[in-house]
A and B are shown apart, each in its own frame.
Chain A
């Protein structure tokens, strides 16, 4: 969009795809807070690994509260089952710059797990927590996130059932205006410490007005889809 004086065909079908293929791109996870008085709903599916549904309300611009449902698979965690939790996210610091914005969040969510990994289904209390930092301009996006689920009962007491770190990098192939369809190419790399597992998700993220959706597939073949609406 901003590259002037270049043949449109060459730019569109050769230069940009080449740049994109050279630059691994990454995604922006949705912000954990909305705006004061704002709400958002989100659905995210990561193939056979994890499915998450959440509804978040922000009573303050720096605070997000809501309910989250996670469906976890044993490939991804040391557990398999459904997690229901009440999440609180706090925007600790936001840097509003002329050409960029940076954010630092922490989030935690007490809840319970219906574990179906064992032959006999069990229910136990858990505690989700994590932190996230991101930085974005209208062209690039970088984010790092840590996320964990701590068991609180029985044999899982004080045990990290999930312990993951994710790094995301994204690039916008064109500078979109306020009322345009926005496009981002994002690559998210996830590390599962216990399983020494690494997943790389190249994705394409789109948003228009208050609706955001993202599609992708990991290098291991896991599909990713997410949808979010803010209102």
Chain B
């Protein structure tokens, strides 16, 4: 009986905790803006202030998407379903000296690369890095 109570408490806690996360997730969709940003783009949503609406932030995200479209390479990748594992892609590319920035977008199933000045990677190198991270390249677009 005591064990059952413990289990029920655990499940209840998990549900309440997840509900809390779920309920707050929309407002944190664009991540904590005080937290460090790995991609370093000129984000319109960097200017989001406490009290600004979610809609404003979503507009900012749309703007940031336009920024992403200014990246040097857009890679369409299959198999990106888990951010913990997809982080492998970011880690692989960040080992390349030519890479300035890597942005992964799970919704679009795309990886955006920005090169340092005079830096570049060939399609073969890009495909190799994606493969070594455990994924498959569908297509590579250069801007």
- A contacts, CB < 8 Å to B: 1, 8, 11-13, 16-17, 20-21, 28, 31, 33-38, 61-62, 91, 94-101, 136-138, 173-174, 176-183, 185, 202-204, 207, 209-210, 212, 215-221, 230-231
Chain A residues with Cβ under 8 A from B107's Cβ? 177
Does B10 contact A217, Cβ atoms closer than 8 Å? Answer: yes
Interface string of B118-142 (1 = CB under 8 A from A): 0000000000000111111000000
Supplied contacts A99-B81, A216-B14, 15 more A-B pairs, CB within 8 Å: A1-B25, A8-B23, A17-B15, A28-B82, A33-B134, A36-B92, A94-B79, A97-B78, A176-B83, A177-B106, A179-B31, A180-B29, A217-B10, A221-B6, A231-B91
Q: What's the tally of chain B residues with a CB closer than 8 Å to chain A?
A: 47
**Is B114 an interface residue, CB under 8 A from the partner?**
no
CB-contact partner of B92 in A21, A35, A100, A221, under 8 A: A35
Chain B residues with Cβ under 8 A from A38's Cβ? 88, 91
**Is B62 an interface residue, CB under 8 A from the partner?**
no
Which residue of chain B lies nearest to A91 when distances are taken between CB atoms in the complex?
B134
**Is B19 an interface residue, CB under 8 A from the partner?**
yes
Q: Among residues 9 to 32 in chain B, which have CB atoms less than 8 Å away from a CB atom of chain A?
A: 10-11, 14-19, 21-23, 25-26, 28-29, 31
Top-5 shortest CB links A-B: A96-B79, A221-B3, A35-B88, A36-B132, A12-B23
- B contacts, CB < 8 Å to A: 2-4, 6-7, 10-11, 14-19, 21-23, 25-26, 28-29, 31, 38, 77-79, 81-88, 91-92, 95, 104-107, 109, 131-136
Chain B residues with Cβ under 8 A from A216's Cβ? 10, 14
CB-contact partner of B79 in A97, A178, A202, A218, under 8 A: A97
CB-contact partner of A178 in B3, B25, B106, under 8 A: B106
Which residue of chain A lies nearest to B5 when distances are taken between CB atoms in the complex?
A221
Does A204 contact B14, Cβ atoms closer than 8 Å? Answer: yes
Does A180 contact B28, Cβ atoms closer than 8 Å? Answer: yes
Does A221 contact B7, Cβ atoms closer than 8 Å? Answer: yes
Does A230 contact B109, Cβ atoms closer than 8 Å? Answer: no
